[in-house]
Amino acid sequence: MKKIFLIILTTCISLGIFAQKVVNIKDRGARSSDQTGNTAIIQKAIDEVSSAGGGTVIIPAGRFVTAILTLKSNVNLHLDKYAVLAGSTKRADYGPSSQVSALIVANKATNISITGEGMIDGQGEALLKDIYVMLNAGTLQDKEWKTENPWHQVRPEEENRPKIIDFDFCKNVTIKGITLRNALCWVQRYNQCENLTVDSIYVESNIFWNNDGIDLVDCKNATISNSFFNCDDDGICFKSSDRNSRCENIVVCNCVVRSSASAIKFGTASWGGFKNITVKDIFVYDTFRSAVAMEAVDGGVMDNVTIENIKAVNTGNALVIRLGHRNKDEVISSLRNVTIRNLDVEVPRIKPDIGYNMEGPSKRYPHNVFPSSATGIPGHAVENVLIENVKISYKGGADKNVACFGLDSLNRVPEKISDYPEFSMFGELPSWGFYVRHVNGIQFKNVTVGFDESDFRPAYVFDDVTGLLLNNVEVKSATEMPVIVLKNTNKPVIEGLKLPLQDKKAIRYIKK
């Protein structure tokens, strides 16, 4: 019986009965041109391959314009070298007002992939011009159009600007080798997807605001590796929009990121949370906000997150860890068990993304360089943080005439419990290296901070901190005393402290 089965199996394979179906869209009539007539042809090819049990739809060399495509189960959309799949430049092709669709969508599909050496071009610049024409003609409705939002930017709402890729509730997803350019909103979003692999992709999208390089929303078992991101908004971003779900079991490694927001970002949407996530071996450059921003502000749980081997140059801020309470219900976020290891950041005095298209918005008030920070809220502390083998070099140059926050005014640092979280949210801060408040259990091991030009502020301020360990901490620069301030910080353990000025006033203890 076994021998007969093997004979039958071998015969079926030789006859191609079990072979995966392959369809080249050019063989189905697709044309390389600036027209959108390819949409129906490409979609029919996807449907045909899926119905046949699976296979590959090939986009050959050439430029093929299309409107919305729905990827189906067991289909690999493969872009050959020199192939360009270009999105329509007509807003009407993406759905009605405030209900925009992405260019390529999938919902509850299994075993889907987009691979190859080709490019998907969202053609965002031309598409934006058409959106403006429609808005001015009154044929497209938009709740944000011509209204000033909190970021002081007048722009069409996100619901009227297409992403390139948007997958919901999909399993076994692979995105590999391709180039993604010129989205008009987030470049790619994967929402509640499982078993996701993103590898060796190239993302360059600085066309307009909200251009996140990649967003993983409540995804599980995912890997992002060997990829490049140059984008206007956050580079690699984890979000959680479902209180009953979360991002979990994710590894990000061997990537390069340039952003006019933050390079690695957790949040701001943080309803369910983030658990068991590792980000390592990342190079960051010319980034406006933080190299790493970790934010739990909507009632979710951030637990067991490791960030290691990060090199960042010309980046506005090294690290933000923030627990807040932005959500309107009574559920309070928690943020615990965070490891930051082998972080090397160079922070300039000038704006890091000057000259890039759609720069990050400058602050409208005078300020000195912002320190790294770890902050909770009263009664709800950040817990168990390890900061190890970290070096942060600041250009410095703080000026009391620009802004000055005296140590006798530490109680005036605002809590801003419900505000949007980021490194500049508190305004001018009383330290230049690290500001830590409402934290239980934080260890600094082998940490070095220094500045090139003078800064009158202390290097570290700790306020309402328990379980503080400073082990082999070096402050390479100091202009005035004190260098470290401990306010409401009981029984800190300080070992091997290295300060530029050996003075009994170098450490100041302040009670309530």
Q: What is the pLDDT along the chain (512 residues), one digit of tens a residue?
A: 545 444 443 434 333 444 699 999 999 999 998 777 899 999 999 999 999 999 999 999 999 999 999 999 999 999 999 999 999 999 999 999 999 999 999 999 999 999 999 999 999 999 999 999 999 999 999 988 876 555 445 689 999 999 999 999 999 999 999 999 999 999 999 999 999 999 999 999 999 989 999 999 999 999 999 999 999 999 999 999 999 999 999 999 999 999 999 999 999 999 999 999 999 999 999 999 999 999 999 999 999 999 999 999 999 999 999 999 999 999 999 999 999 999 999 999 899 999 998 899 887 788 899 999 999 999 999 999 999 999 999 999 998 988 887 888 899 999 999 999 999 999 999 999 999 999 999 999 999 999 999 999 999 999 999 999 999 999 998 999 999 999 999 899 999 999 987 777 899 999 87
**From CA 454, how far away is CA 182, in angstroms rounded?**
41
Hunting for tokens 């353990």 — which residue is that? 493
Determine the pLDDT at residue 152: 45
- Please, what's the b/e burial string for 299-315 (b: 16 or more CB within 10 A of its CB; e: otherwise)? bbbbbbbbbbbbbbbbb
**From CA 162, how far away is CA 160, in angstroms rounded?**
7
Determine the pLDDT at residue 147: 63
Residue 127 φ then ψ, to 5°: -65, -40
**From CA 42, how far away is CA 64, in angstroms rounded?**
10
**Contact indicator for 74, 111 with CB cutoff of 8 Å:** yes
**Contact indicator for 78, 115 with CB cutoff of 8 Å:** yes
- Please, what's the b/e burial string for 242-256 (b: 16 or more CB within 10 A of its CB; e: otherwise)? eeebbbbebebbebb
**From CA 489, how far away is CA 339, in angstroms rounded?**
21
Written as six digits, the tokens of 234 are: 């956050």
**Contact indicator for 366, 400 with CB cutoff of 8 Å:** no
Q: How many CA atoms lie within 13 A of 399 on its CB side?
A: 6
Beta strand 460-475 pairing with 382-396: unpaired
Determine the pLDDT at residue 15: 36
Written as six digits, the tokens of 343 are: 């972080």
**Which residue type is seen at 104?**
I
**From CA 237, how far away is CA 319, in angstroms rounded?**
15
Contacts of 118 (CB under 8 A, 6+ apart): 59, 61, 79, 80, 81, 82, 83, 84, 85, 178, 179
**From CA 56, how far away is CA 42, in angstroms rounded?**
12
Determine the pLDDT at residue 433: 97
Q: How many CA atoms lie within 13 A of 9 on its CB side?
A: 6
Apex 99 CA angle, 95 and 103, nearest 5? 55
